[in-house]
Each structure stands twice: as C-alpha cells, then as structure tokens.
Amino acid sequence: MQVKDFQWTPGMTVSELVSQYHQVGYQSVELARAADVIIKMKKENAKIYLTFTSNMVTSGLRGFFAQLIKLKMAQVIVTTVGGIEEDIMKSTGETFSVGRFGHDDVELHEQGINRVGNLLIKNESYMNFEDWITPVLDKLYEKQKRWAVSEMLKEIGLMLEDENSLLYQAAKNDIPIFCPAVTDGAFGFHLYLYQQKHPDFIVDVVKDFGNILFSSSYDEKKAVIALGGSISKHHAILCTLLNGGAEYAVYMTTAHKTSGSMSGATTDEAKSWGKVKDDSDVATVIGDVTIMFPLAMIRALEELRKEGLLQDG
C-alpha cells in the first residue's frame, strides 16, 4: 500500500476520515487498523471484552460506553472501582467540570476540589456518594449476605435507571461488569466500614474470578478492546490466556512498550504469553483514548450499521 495524500472533502464523515488514515502513516494507520479489527471481531461473532480505567469514566466517554453496551458491542466489561463510583455519581446528579492541567493544586485542595488531569471533582460529590451507597448496602445485605462483585454491581445497576449509566445498561442487557480491585477507592472504603458493622457481609473477589474465567470457553472466539492498562486490561487478557488466547485485540494507551508495564504492553508482547493468539488480528494505538477511541469505534459502528450487524438494545 502506498502513502496517499490526505484530502478534505466538504461534509466528510468520521468514517471517511478514518478510512483515509490507512494511507497517511504513523499512528493514523494503526487507528484505521483498530477500526478494521473491531469490525472483524463483531462480524466473526467473537465475545468482546471491553476494558477501561476509571479516568475514562471521569470524562465524557462514560455515556459512550453505556451506548456501546446498549448496542451489544461488548459482552464483558472490566474496569476499576473509580469508574463504578463516578458512574453512580453522575447517575445521581453529580456533575464534573472541565478545568486546566495547570491549576494551582494547593488552591484546589483548599477549595475541596480534586483534579483528574484537566477535570475537576468536588469533595461534595464523594459525600453525596456516601449518602447514596449506605442505604444501598443495607438493601444488598437484606437480600443476601455474600456477593460476587459482578453480581453486586448488577444489582446496583438495576437501581440507577439512567440510560447514560454503564452500570444500568450492563444490568439491563445482562452484561457482567467485573471490578477485581473493588476496594481500591471510596466504594471499597464504604464496603470496609459496612463490614465492620456486619461481619457476615462478604464481597467475594475470588468467586468473581471464576465468573470471568467461565464467561468464555476455549473453543469460543474471543476479542479484547483494552483502553489504557492497569488491572482492568490484565484481568481480561488473563482470562483469554486461560481460555486459549484471543483472536482479536485492540489496545489504546499513552504508555510505551519500553516501560515494561501492563499499560505499555503491546498486542505483540501479549502473543509471547499466549494472551493473544499468534495469528490474531491486532492493533496497538499510542494516543489519548478520548481522541482515538471515538474515531475508531464510530468508523466501526458506521460500517456495521451499513451491513445490518448492529444490534440496538
């Protein structure tokens, strides 16, 4: 394939834009390839594991994730606990603000404001989350004493009734959300406090590992879309490793392979572990997910819609 000059045309769609990326060069080629791989995994009816870190739920991608769940573009979700908390916060009326990367952070702290990149969250939002989650834990405890994490999150999701909530859409469409590090945040702290009053209240992380492990089989085609790294990415690809490896994988991250980190590990590196099969279709895109992911996914959605392969939940 030859390099081809990029050309703007009036009324250009996102799909047309990304299609031209195939012949521009550098990361644009990987972005276009990522869209192609997403189309293939859906066409081949692979079980798609979508993973993302909580900072992406802090951003406006949260509603896009919910929309993708509704469209059946993923069958398994894996995230970190901040994403759970912030999805609940937004569903219960909390709003986050766009600020600056260069804020005076000491001043923000004095004002009771927390910064995530250039996004701002008030301490008050966490206080309101505490007020909301305590009676919810009472309801869970009354229903049963022991919960696998994904089963607990489904129960919570059914309480939200917010179309833009990923917890609600996942619960409504019977798509499990796994959060292996459920204690790593405010939610975990409240679970701990609740257990001090009710020692027989158990959130079973190990049982949930079994749930994700048996969410697919060795013979089933598997695909991973991993946005960022961390435990959410590894939890999904460990599952695919134990089930023969994924046939399709798209990674998007700002980390680099030279770090030796999970965040920077490429789809090629995953082949050495058997997490991704040797002959799999893969793409690794280096760049900000808030820019890269909507472009690649919208291209995929448009193509799938044209072919009648998009399911509306």
Strand order in the sheet with 222-227: 177-178, 76-79, 47-52, 222-227, 246-253, 276-286
Those residues with Cβ within 8 angstroms of residue 125's Cβ, 6 or more apart along the chain or in another chain = 89, 94, 96
Catalytic residue (choose from 42, 70, 233, 275):
275
The answer to whether residue 275 is catalytic is yes
Could you give the residue numbers annotated as active site?
Answer: 275
